[in-house]
Chain A
Amino acid sequence: MNSAITTRAAVLGTGQTEHRTRRTDVSMAGLCREAIDRALADAGIEWSDVDAVVLGKAPDLFEGVMMPELFLADALGATGRPLLRVHTAGSVGGSTAIVASQLVQAGVHRRVLAVAFEKQSESNAMWALSIQPPFTMPVGAGAGGYFAPHIRSYIRRSGAPPHVGAMVAVKDRRNGALNPHAHLRQPGITLESVNASPMLWDPIRYDETCPSSDGACAIVIGDEAAAEASDRQVAWIHATAMRTEPTYFAGKDHVNPRAGYEAARALWRAAGITDPLEQIDAAEIYVPFSWFEPMWLENLGFAAPGEGWKLTEAGETGIGGALPVNPSGGVMCSNPIGASGLLRFAEAAMQVMGRAGEHQVEGARTALGHAYGGGSQFFAMWVVGTAPV
């Protein structure tokens, strides 16, 4: 893949909405524009500087609008420009950033706007995710019901103590309190309050679950010339990786999916990283349920299989630890599903641009953005850095 790269690419600017349960003050178009206008301002560019637009959104059933890119074209500034829609379920935000970066790296466009959104309040994702295909038993479990059994498998396989999931929730919600855009901001959350919250999908408690959010995210990606023309710090894209596997096949490892494992190895190789725990300064990892932090630490190679929870338990994934994970509060604090992956990629860029505000990891120069979607089917990730590779 790297042989096709003709120019380096960098994130010039990022923007995101105020994520909330219901953004009834704006339409879908208005939601997207709140993020887009902020991204253009952050990049210091005008509409005339944008060459193409890439839109990412999770399943159309979430808003009941088939192909929203059709009616959003004006609002996305796509009139007279190429517009592409990307769709890889919950990982779509990450895939959207990668498609945009490849359009730049291939020398096709100088500056590409990537946008992703979800207006969950227009529908009910639990309902949309519980529609069973024909010939499967309609048991009705929702997204949490899909993932909770795999978390139980992780706990059994790793021997992780039960408080690790609650520790992640406390850390992420407190981080979210430092992030003015976060939907859930809970500086006073404690292990006791998490453990006292209702058990939704045993073993997942209410406070160990992501919220349902309205929100959008946008980033501007530019080529070397565009990056050099910027008078602000950019986030250089060191490497990207995407991998896919079937949702169900005999021998599928839901705890340590092969597609995620292989994507991470390809990513580290392409970025020249040999010791991720040592060389990555901040990680924005897609953690919709708290237990996914230790699971993905292992899948990504930050820890050996069965060992990820030890990093979490030792406090190493907090801001100031060896590997700050989700300093923004992550998906546990804001989950506009289609945008959640792009938020991870944007937040990683913000860290190496030094523009993460109160949740800035001091001295962060190399950061990971990660997303997964479907039943652990699609994986997308990138490494961004303060300096070009």
Chain B
Amino acid sequence: MEIGFDYTRSLGPVLSRFMTALAERRILGCRGSDGRVHAPPLEYDPVTYAPLTELVEVGPAGTVVTWTWLDRPLDGQPLDRPFGWALIRLDGADTAMLHAVDAGSKDRMRTGMRVRVRWAPEPVGHIRDIACFEPLTDSPPTLPGPTAEPVTMVTTPIHLRYRHTTSTEESRYLRGLAEGKVIGQRCPSCGKVYVPPRGACPTCGVPTVDDVELPDRGTVTTFCVVNVPFPGQRIPPPYVVAYVLLDGADIPFQHLILGCRPDEVRMGMRVAAVWRPREQWGTTPQNIDHFQPSGEPDAPFNSYAQHL
């Protein structure tokens, strides 16, 4: 499973000036109440908690305070070849910032070494404008760029990848789906049937081991009609999301109701699963594409009133 979103960061007055300066190939720190210069700048003083407003230019060269070596860089890190992670105190600053040093090999890294910024080819006012640091040589440094428009917002895309290891009952449930079966479990204490199975009853706190094969039809307990679009949505609105209580189950689950107009769906409506073509089946609940009206008479309210 993979999720991601392009988050934004509104910067506020201090970080806005910091990012704007980066677009001009300059680095700003801020002076704290005790006279120390913090780089990158802080918005609030760590001693007095007062807002910090005095920004001063630092760097672009600095000194490695301490470091470690990374042989195998990961996706998204500043460099795609082995590099040093270093705490770098920029000239004019009293605090150090963490960044990558493109030293080529571990042998060229040492505490106290002098480094300077390597700028991104086209700075835009983002922390990634500082591509990395490199050992200070005699070659001429990059000069500051032209005045930039104020930067008040940055975008920070974030992506997460998950790998889930199934429990034994989840595994049986998913293997059942791959054969067109819906498998739940019954609590030995209260007798309630859970689908999907959980391996333990949430109210009795005892393990559930008795598998129960359930039919692929049931009753709409309650529902809503989704008319609103939002990011990540899979089908265009309007569509009905309903709680479906399978016959013999004691807990409903949410599913799509298609095969009729949204305004025809009602509490108590009898529905049946519509499976995807068999050749598309996998070990996934998505084998059931949606539910549709079965044509049976509506279930009486009392038959599902305890499952609302």
A26 at the interface (CB under 8 A from B): yes
Specify which of A23, A139, A249 is in contact with B202 (CB 8 Å cutoff): A249
A201 at the interface (CB under 8 A from B): yes
A163 at the interface (CB under 8 A from B): no
Residues of A near B142 (CB, < 8 A) are none
Residues of B near A152 (CB, < 8 A) are 222-224, 267
State which of A86-94, A229-237, A250-258, A355-363 sits at the interface with chain B: A250-258
B164 at the interface (CB under 8 A from A): yes
**Nearest B residue (CB) for A73:** B46
**Nearest B residue (CB) for A79:** B46
Contact with A along B199-210 (1 / 0, CB 8 A): 000110000000
Specify which of A26, A136, A144 is in contact with B254 (CB 8 Å cutoff): A136
- Contact yes or no, B3 A131, CB < 8 A: yes
- Contact yes or no, B202 A135, CB < 8 A: no
Residues of A near B301 (CB, < 8 A) are 156
- Contact yes or no, B232 A135, CB < 8 A: no
A75 at the interface (CB under 8 A from B): yes
Which of A123, A198, A200, A250: most chain B Cβ within 10 A?
A250
A303 at the interface (CB under 8 A from B): no
Residues of B near A157 (CB, < 8 A) are 305, 308
CB distance from B15 to the nearest CB of A (A): 6
**Residues of chain A from 261 to 277 with CB closer than 8 A to chain B in the complex:** none
CA of A203 to CA of B166, assembled, Å: 37
CB distance from A24 to the nearest CB of B (A): 4
Number of inter-chain CB pairs below 8 Å: 176
- Contact yes or no, A140 B255, CB < 8 A: no
**Given A24-B152, A134-B1, A255-B308: A149 and B10 interface contact (C-beta under 8 Å):** no
CA of A153 to CA of B11, assembled, Å: 44
CB distance from B300 to the nearest CB of A (A): 13
CB distance from B156 to the nearest CB of A (A): 7
B161 at the interface (CB under 8 A from A): no
CA of A136 to CA of B252, assembled, Å: 12
Residues of B near A74 (CB, < 8 A) are 42-46, 49
**Nearest B residue (CB) for A254:** B308
CB distance from A51 to the nearest CB of B (A): 14
Which of A137, A200, A201: most chain B Cβ within 10 A?
A137
CB distance from B237 to the nearest CB of A (A): 9
CA of A153 to CA of B245, assembled, Å: 14
Contact with A along B5-45 (1 / 0, CB 8 A): 10111111101000000000000000000000000001111
B104 at the interface (CB under 8 A from A): no
CA of A139 to CA of B43, assembled, Å: 42
Which of B153, B193, B228, B243: most chain A Cβ within 10 A?
B228
**Residues of chain B from 242 to 266 with CB closer than 8 A to chain A in the complex:** 242-243, 250-251, 253-256, 262
State which of A27-35, A317-325, A337-345, A364-372 sits at the interface with chain B: A27-35
Contact with B along A119-152 (1 / 0, CB 8 A): 1011110111011001111111110110011101
**Given A123-B5, A139-B241, A150-B222: A250 and B192 interface contact (C-beta under 8 Å):** yes
**Residues of chain B from 136 to 157 with CB closer than 8 A to chain A in the complex:** 152-153, 156
CB distance from A260 to the nearest CB of B (A): 15
CB distance from B308 to the nearest CB of A (A): 4
**Residues of chain B from 209 to 233 with CB closer than 8 A to chain A in the complex:** 221-228, 230-233
Residues of B near A316 (CB, < 8 A) are none
Specify which of A33, A79, A119, A202 is in contact with B224 (CB 8 Å cutoff): A202
Residues of A near B44 (CB, < 8 A) are 29, 33, 74-75, 77
A64 at the interface (CB under 8 A from B): yes
- Contact yes or no, B7 A139, CB < 8 A: no
- Contact yes or no, B285 A153, CB < 8 A: no
Specify which of B13, B47, B231, B267 is in contact with A124 (CB 8 Å cutoff): B231
- Contact yes or no, B10 A137, CB < 8 A: no
CB distance from A256 to the nearest CB of B (A): 10
A63 at the interface (CB under 8 A from B): yes
- Contact yes or no, B226 A145, CB < 8 A: yes
Residues of B near A135 (CB, < 8 A) are 170, 173-174, 196, 285
Residues of B near A79 (CB, < 8 A) are 46-47, 49
Can you show 7 pairs from A to B with CB atoms below 8 A apart?
A: A27-B9, A30-B12, A79-B46, A123-B8, A140-B241, A145-B241, A148-B224
Interface residues of chain A, those whose CB is within 8 Å of chain B, are: 22-27, 29-30, 33, 47, 63-64, 74-75, 77, 79, 119, 121-124, 126-128, 130-131, 134-142, 144-145, 148-150, 152-153, 156-157, 198-204, 246, 248-255
Given contacts A24-B10, A130-B233, 9 further A-B contacts (CB under 8 A): A27-B10, A27-B12, A33-B51, A141-B226, A149-B224, A149-B242, A249-B251, A251-B306, A252-B251
Closest 10 interchain pairs by CB?
A148-B224, A27-B12, A202-B225, A250-B250, A64-B7, A250-B192, A126-B230, A149-B222, A153-B308, A30-B12
Interface residues of chain B, those whose CB is within 8 Å of chain A, are: 1, 3, 5, 7-13, 15, 42-49, 51, 152-153, 156, 158, 164, 166, 170, 173-174, 190, 192-194, 196, 202-203, 221-228, 230-235, 241-243, 250-251, 253-256, 262, 267, 285-286, 288, 301, 305-308
